[in-house]
Structure 1
Amino acid sequence: MSKSVRRAAILHFPSEIVDKPIVCSVIKQFEVEVNIVEAHIEPNADGMMMVFLEGENKEVNRTINFLKERGVKIALPEKGVYRDETKCVHCGACTVHCITKALTLERESMKINFDYDKCIACHLCFPTCSYGALKSSMI
């Protein structure tokens, strides 16, 4: 028997598939729990959904493959959310929207610290960075 896992995932739906019942199909076809933490879905526009997928490791992996096969782009925290040190000016704007406190301002040095272990790749900090210092690898 496979080990039960809980994985955070950011699902990006291109506008041409945003009207398809893809998440509904996941719930019906796979033995995974889908916890929708945040969603921005509108007709005829690209959509984004932050979810936690929970279930047996094999089922979670099958779910991710199913989503990718249907054109959903997926960002997983362990796949490389990172801060580009050459672009970061340590303004602190990103820290306000970081729900897990992965991004914090160190008062003594007035520098932004990024604790990668706390980051769940929710991308809430991305729009706040005017310098494009926060990035994510898509799979």
Structure 2
Amino acid sequence: MKKIKLILYFPPEKTDKPFTYHLVKDYDVIFNILQAEVQPGKRGRLTIELEGTEENIQRALAFTRDYGIEYRPFNKNIVRNQGECVDCGVCTSVCPSGALYMDTDTWKLNFDEQKCLVCELCIRACPVKAIDVNMFD
């Protein structure tokens, strides 16, 4: 099984259509919505993780393109410089997914990359600039 993360861009006329239903039913892929900004009649954006066989993912991507939805790979992640971090926890207060959290036994900052939405709120919140975004291909 393969997993990929994508950002989908919906044109206004597609935001009220059952697109994700077809991904599951017709292309046998599992999807996880990581972040959504979708309103009927307005351009929408959906960050998702797709899981399935290589063939099914490729078929699902072809359907996405043919359906009129633009997509691009989700190619960035958050990096925490542990040498710079002072474990103050300020970043945890702005993290919407709970990816950044304090260990209540050690009072050390922990980061769960799998939960991270890469919203970048933590970068602006960090008083010592110990958090950055990494772009990759």
Q: TM-score range by the shorter chain?
A: 0.5 to 0.7
Percent of pairs with identical residues: 24
* Offset at residue 34 of structure 1 (A): 0.9
1:26 aligns with 2:45: no
Distance 1:101 1:46, change over 3 A: closer
TM-score (norm 2): 0.58
Note if contact 2:27-2:56 (Cα within 8 Å) is conserved in structure 1: yes
1:18 partner letter: T
Paired position in structure 1 for 2:66: 69
1:115 partner letter: N
Structure 1 distance, partners of 2:33, 2:117, is: 20
Structure 1 distance, partners of 2:32, 2:24, is: 11
* Offset at residue 17 of structure 1 (A): 1.3
Structure 2 distance, partners of 1:24, 1:60, is: 15
Structure 2 distance, partners of 1:19, 1:113, is: 35
Distance 1:21 1:58, change over 3 A: same
**Larger of the two Rg values belongs to structure:** 2
* Offset at residue 116 of structure 1 (A): 2.8
Unaligned runs of 5+ in 2: 77-90, 100-115
Structure 2 distance, partners of 1:58, 1:9, is: 17
Structure 2 distance, partners of 1:112, 1:34, is: 28
1:116 aligns with 2:135: yes
The structure that is helix-richer by fraction is 2
Q: How many residues get paired?
A: 98
1:116 partner letter: M
Note if contact 2:35-2:117 (Cα within 8 Å) is conserved in structure 1: no
Paired position in structure 2 for 1:45: 42
Distance 1:60 1:42, change over 3 A: same
Unaligned runs of 5+ in 1: 82-94, 120-139
* Offset at residue 39 of structure 1 (A): 1.2
Distance 1:17 1:7, change over 3 A: same
2:32 partner letter: N
Listed as ranges, the matches of 1:1-139 within 5 Å are: 4-78=1-75, 100=116, 107=128, 113-116=132-135
Distance 1:55 1:114, change over 3 A: same
